Amino acid sequence: MRATGILETVLYAENLGRVRPFYEDVLGLECFQASEDRQLFFYCGDQVLLIFDPAKTSLARPPAAGVPPAHGARGAGHVCFRAEAAELDRWRSRLEEAGIAIEADFEWPAGGRSLYVRDPAGNSVEFAEPRIWRLPRRVRTLRGAKLVVASHNRGKRKEIDDLLRPFGVETVMASDLGLPEPEETEATFAGNARLKAEHAAMASGLAAISDDSGLCVDSLHGDPGIYSARWAGPFKDFALAMRNVEEKLQAIGATTPDTRRAHFISALAVAWPDGETRCYEGRVDGILVWPPRGTQGFGYDPMFLPEGATLTFGEMEPQAKHAVSHRARAFAKLVDDLF
């Protein structure tokens, strides 16, 4: 016979009050038991991380039901948390923002990357890709799942519903669950998509999908970009947003097709309540037309003419748009990974 998995990892710390914020607040683990200044127990995926004060656990206690035997160790230990490649930069930023020094950021010769830090008790804490041990990426699937659409935009919900329907996925809007929209504080589409999906997954206890997308205009140095929705104002008036874009183009004399080049970007993020997040990006290039054409779609669709097309996204039937859109291209990558 053989052991089939690791159930728990144990570290020791002489001051549990100092280490608890590191694991609970910085790493986001759920502390499900803390007792007698003796122990901290955290859930981490399908395993548990146990942290004991060796000064307490090494003392023999009278035998009683449920009382474990004396145990303990002194000196620094080591724990390694699984992280996919795309997560490691985010972990590095989060740790540095929390004032945690990065001891090493190491690329393994055979492939894979590790980050090393110390917890307040001096234990070595590593974040690493599973492939450093030739382990496969965790298998995930959304087929037949119930999924929170982390958006209050009904147009996005309809497009995501249309894309997911063939896979038997049931969706529910974050707004229908009473979940507030988190402030979008990241500097990239992918960062904001992750933020919204993770917020919805943690609040609902369900897997969540989020899209962060926008229009990037070459002559406007990429604007409105991640601020595409904000250009529509508090009432999400995209007729106003399109006028704003056109006025700025007219102000710089951008009246020919080569000066009106633009692209849509979509970043789709899927997050699970256990903390894993995956992100997929798609892009479609085109030019901006004026006046806007068509009443299909939403957002900036009526003024965007994709390359090689004669109809704007606002003129295309939904199925035609889904065949070429930035969101559909991101979704194709998601399907390859999760269905």
Kindly list the catalytic residues: 212
List, in order, residues 6 or more apart from 2 with CB less than 8 Å away: none
Angle at 272 between CA 194 and CA 77, to 5 degrees: 95
Closest CA to 155 of 332, 337, 325, 336: 325
Q: Would you say how long the chain is, in residues?
A: 339
Torsional class of 120: left (φ above 0), alpha (ψ -120 to 50), beta (otherwise): alpha
List, in order, residues 6 or more apart from 264 with CB less than 8 Å away: 213, 214, 215, 216, 283, 284, 286, 300, 304, 325, 326
What pairs with residue 241 in β-bridges? none
Cα 211 to Cα 153: distance, rounded to the nearest angstrom = 10
Backbone dihedral angles phi then psi of residue 305, each to the nearest 5 degrees: -110, 105
